[in-house]
């Protein structure tokens, strides 16, 4: 793998019975970039994220994560926890916040889970967990400050606005100290001003925290404003790769996706 590659997906095929979710898909993400994956609903975008994070096990191909701290990790067949530990973090298309817990607790669980304490341990606070508590508190506070939610630390997550929930999810993903963060439709369901806030936040994740960003998003304004390169999935196949300008002008992409969705403002 060449020096600057962070995630190398090569010829991955993923099947569920007769359904082919990913067909011979390749993607090369460079260290430090903001990269977007776009495409119509059902194209395989989330399946690709699930394959990179170990949730799904593709039948063919290879996925390599090149950590800056360890030898390259061959992802397929590894457990999700092992891949997360290596430095790959994510948010989910559908929120997975603990809605009855506070903002602070949600991020702290992310930090403690990563340190091997586990979600149950983090909640029960046994003797073993107390040692790590101070560190987790500091990490949680620092991430909440970063996403602008420190003042909401004691708010129950279910009471947050939609945009704030999405920022909280990013804070929780960052609490695992990742090298790359995979964001699955981070702006879905948010209003235009929340989308602008998220655009700024995602850029700051890369610029200020030095975390590479792989992004799935339907909002083309956000994608075109953030992404340095874009990959396009359609019916499980990668049909294009290029700069935002190249993608915008690509007839196959316009035909498959952009033609009907450039005016779209929400997923
Ligand atoms: N766990 C699964 N079992 C069966 N089919 C799945 C599963 N996950 C995804 N698929 C199928 O894979 C295809 C791509 O889905 P998905 O990756 O969610 O697309 P996208 O995120 O681009 O909307 C769809 O046809 C979907 O039904
Ligand atoms: Mg999806």
**For the segment 25-42, what is each residue's pLDDT rounded down to a tens digit?**
999 999 999 999 999 999
- Closest ligand to Cα 40: 1
If we measure between CA atoms, which residue out of 35, 49, 3 comes closest to residue 242? 35
When pLDDT is cut at 50, 70 and 90, the band that residue 267 belongs to is very low
pLDDT digit string, tens, across residues 44-76: 999 999 999 999 999 999 999 999 999 999 999
With the most atoms of ligand 1 within 8 angstroms of its CB, the residue from 14, 17, 21, 27 to mutate is 21
Q: Is 46 helix (H, G, I), strand (E, B) or coil?
A: helix
Extents of the domains making up the chain: 1-87+178-267, 97-177
| Terminal C-alpha separation, the chain | 35
**Confidence label for 127 from pLDDT (cuts 50, 70 and 90):** low
The residue with greater pLDDT, 96 or 245, is: 245
**Of 217, 194, 221, nearest to 267 (Cα)?**
217
Q: What angle do CA 260, 266, 267 make, to 5 degrees?
A: 75
pTM of the shown model: 0.91
Percent of the chain with pLDDT over 70: 88
The reported pLDDT for the residue numbered 165 is 95
Pocket test for ligand 1, best of 18, 44, 214 (most atoms within 8 A of CB): 44
Structure tokens at 222: 């956000």
Ramachandran assignment for 41, one of left (phi > 0), alpha (psi -120 to 50 degrees), beta (any other): beta
Q: pLDDT digit string (tens) for 181-190?
A: 999 999 999 9
* Two structure tokens written together for 251: 């007839």
Pairing of the two strands 212-216 and 34-38: parallel
- 8 Å CB contact between 218 and 266: yes
* pLDDT score, position 112: 79
CA of 234 to the centre of ligand 1 (A): 12
If one looks up domain 1-87+178-267 in CATH, what number appears?
3.40.50.300
pLDDT band for 104, please (50, 70, 90 cuts): very high
pLDDT at position 160 over 50: yes
> Looking at per-residue confidence, does 121 or 45 come out higher?
45
> Torsion over CA of 151, 147, 176 and 26, rounded to 10 degrees?
160
- The pLDDT value recorded for residue 117 is 52
Task: Classify 265 as helix, strand or coil.
Answer: coil
SS percent in the chain: helix, strand, coil, step 5: 45, 25, 35
| 261 pLDDT above the threshold of 80 | no
Q: Which SS3 state, helix, strand or coil, does residue 194 take? A: helix
């Amino acid at each position: 793998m060449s020096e600057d590659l962070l995630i190398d997906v090569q010829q991955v095929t993923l099947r569920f019975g007769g359904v082919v979710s990913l067909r011979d898909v390749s993607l090369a993400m460079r260290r430090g970039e903001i990269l977007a994956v776009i495409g119509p609903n059902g194209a395989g975008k989330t399946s690709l994220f699930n394959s990179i994070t170990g949730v799904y096990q593709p039948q063919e191909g290879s996925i390599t994560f090149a950590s800056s701290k360890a030898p390259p990790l061959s992802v397929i067949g590894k457990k999700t926890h092992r891949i997360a530990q290596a430095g790959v973090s994510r948010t989910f298309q559908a929120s997975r916040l603990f809605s009855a817990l506070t903002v602070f607790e949600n991020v702290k669980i992310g930090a403690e889970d990563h340190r091997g304490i586990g979600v149950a341990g983090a909640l029960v606070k046994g003797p073993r967990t107390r040692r790590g508590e101070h560190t987790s508190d500091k990490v949680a506070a620092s991430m909440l400050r970063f996403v602008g939610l420190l003042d909401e630390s004691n708010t129950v997550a279910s009471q947050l606005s939609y945009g704030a929930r999405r920022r909280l999810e990013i804070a929780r993903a960052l609490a695992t100290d990742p090298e790359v963060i995979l964001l699955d439709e981070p702006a879905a369901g948010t209003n235009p001003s929340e989308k602008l806030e998220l655009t700024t936040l995602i850029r700051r994740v890369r610029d200020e925290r030095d975390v590479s960003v792989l992004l799935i998003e339907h909002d083309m304004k956000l994608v075109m404003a953030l992404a340095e390169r874009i990959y396009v999935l359609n019916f499980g196949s990668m049909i294009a790769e290029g700069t935002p300008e190249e993608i915008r002008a690509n007839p196959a992409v316009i035909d498959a996706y952009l033609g009907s969705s450039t005016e779209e403002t929400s997923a």
